[in-house]
Structure 1
Amino acid sequence: MDAASKDTAPQSEKEPASRTRQITLRVIRWSTALVALAGAIVLVSASWVSIAAAGHLYDADDAPEAPVVIVLGSQVRDGKPMKFLAGRLDAAVQLVQDGKVRAVLVSGDANGRSGNEIQAMTEYLVAAGVDPDRIVGDEYGLDTYDTCARAVQTYGVTKALIVSQGLHVSRAVALCRDAGIDVDGVEGACECNRLAVVRNYAREWLARPKAVLDLLSGRDPAVVSPPDGSLATVSAG
């Protein structure tokens, strides 16, 4: 092998290795940038929720009066509310018993993967002593944004309390206030295991950017229904 061949061979071997390093560095830079962007979006959306909900969060004991309390649906099992949903319903029962609200709007998915949330919520409230004539069910509250939009557009709600747990109640308040409801949030209790709480907190952090996107888009709820005056009649009684 002559001298030229000796110089050329190592160089040809170095070029693929150099290109591989460049590609790897480029992937790392882009990945880091995307992670930073995602983190920034989550933090900005979380800040918006916190600011929008500030001063509007209460326990059931010190909640203000309102014509109606909105209870957000969640998973059921064998036709019964699971612990998160039961905690929300218990808070609504207390609000009714304390005379702070006159009507209950149970809003969720009547065709949910775990079962009929509306039926389960209604039956739970009635078993706890709430007059069934005070309960109105929205079967198309498919997510929190839809619940708030439909409360205004379909049921004519202008002032309300809304019940959920932890970070979710803050997001619900922010979304409903943006929809035009003078709403305050009520914290529902939950005798839940730590894993369930952590999982729901993680999911809530990820849900906040979607909430901001929904607001920016101004989308209609997934199901648009004609006006329904049943809630106004109940809450005025």
Structure 2
Amino acid sequence: TGKVAFFHDHFSHFDTRMSIWKRLIVGSGIVLCVSLLSTFALDRWIGWKTAPYIYDDLAALPERQVGVVLGTAKYYRVGALNQYYLFRIQGAINAYNGGKVSYLLLSGDNALQSYNEPMTMRRDLIAAGISPSDIVLDYAGFRTLDSIVRTRKVFDTNDFTIITQRFHCERALFIAMYMGIQAQCYAVPSAKNMMTIRLREVGARLGTLFDLYILKREPHFLGPLVPIPAEHKIAKDEPDYPAVPPRIAQYVRQSTR
């Protein structure tokens, strides 16, 4: 009888431990499923909300004075040309030559002297025949939020065309809509490695929602108005206002990764 009681108690404790682990596993699975479904729903909500303001066909794109080209690196780390960059540059050329925009605001990262997205875009656009007087540089477009809000608050433009890939259009337009900015987007083609970029975009959208609704973030740098159109003098190889001091810019670039 004692042995039977011992084994009964032993297996009862074993069953209890198994039951706890089972509940933990089931509970974790439920939390994971809810999190994934919520993430998917938020991602699709952003896409649905911004869809009416995205144009894939240049002919259907309404005319605006300013086209904002969102920056990205021209080359991958391995040295190959970045197709996302090339498509954005070609999209900017098409929009300008097609009379859809009169000025191109090039917004990107200038955190290091050796890494200057706006100036790189400017050189390529001028080489393609775009008039330098119709190009304006924003060196403090460290993030999409910075680029969109600075277009309104620094460059005094509230009704503009964003030029980038569709997935990026959706996030950029969502920021604009939240900020009360009347923007539209010209969606240029995407490169072949779309799946990897798209997964990263889901995380970026969650970060954007957190920035807008929880942290209430503003751009790292604002400053006095520099309206478009206006004279924007640029030195031969050095950025003019609103460039960011290299030491500060390097800190910002590291903190926004």
- TM-score range normalised by the length of the shorter chain: 0.7 to 0.9
Runs of 4+ off more than 6 Å: 78-81
Q: Deviations over 1:48-101 (max 9, x none)?
A: 313321321113232110011111112232899621011011111111111221
Maintained 8 Å contact 2:150/2:219: no
Residue in 1 that maps onto 2:105: 105
SS, match of residue 77 in structure 1: coil
SS, match of residue 52 in structure 2: coil
1:202 maps to amino acid: L
How does 1:5-154 map onto structure 2 within 5 Å? 6-58=3-55, 59-77=57-75, 82-111=82-111, 115-154=115-154
Unaligned runs of 5+ in 2: 233-257
Residue in 2 that maps onto 1:200: 197
Unaligned runs of 5+ in 1: none
The farther-off stretch of 45-54 and 127-136 is 45-54
Percent identical pairs in the alignment equals 24
Residue in 1 that maps onto 2:243: none
Distance 1:20 1:103, change over 3 A: same
Return the offset for 1:158. Answer: 0.7
Distance 2:231 2:40 in 1: 40
The farther-off stretch of 115-124 and 213-222 is 213-222
Distance 1:75 1:117 in 2: 6
Residue in 2 that maps onto 1:221: 218
Residue in 1 that maps onto 2:188: 188
Q: Deviations over 1:164-214 (max 9, x none)?
A: 113221221221122222111111124x33xx2111111122322222222
Residue in 1 that maps onto 2:247: none
**Coordinate RMSD, CA, aligned:** 2.5
Distance 1:142 1:26, change over 3 A: farther
Residue in 2 that maps onto 1:233: 230
Maintained 8 Å contact 1:76/1:115: no
Distance 1:123 1:19, change over 3 A: farther
**Greater helix fraction, Structure 1 or Structure 2:** 1
Scaled by the length of structure 2, what TM-score is found?
0.78
SS, match of residue 136 in structure 1: strand
Maintained 8 Å contact 2:156/2:227: no
Distance 1:181 1:80, change over 3 A: farther
Maintained 8 Å contact 1:73/1:85: yes
Distance 1:226 1:46, change over 3 A: same
- Between the two proteins, the alignment pairs up a number of residues equal to 228
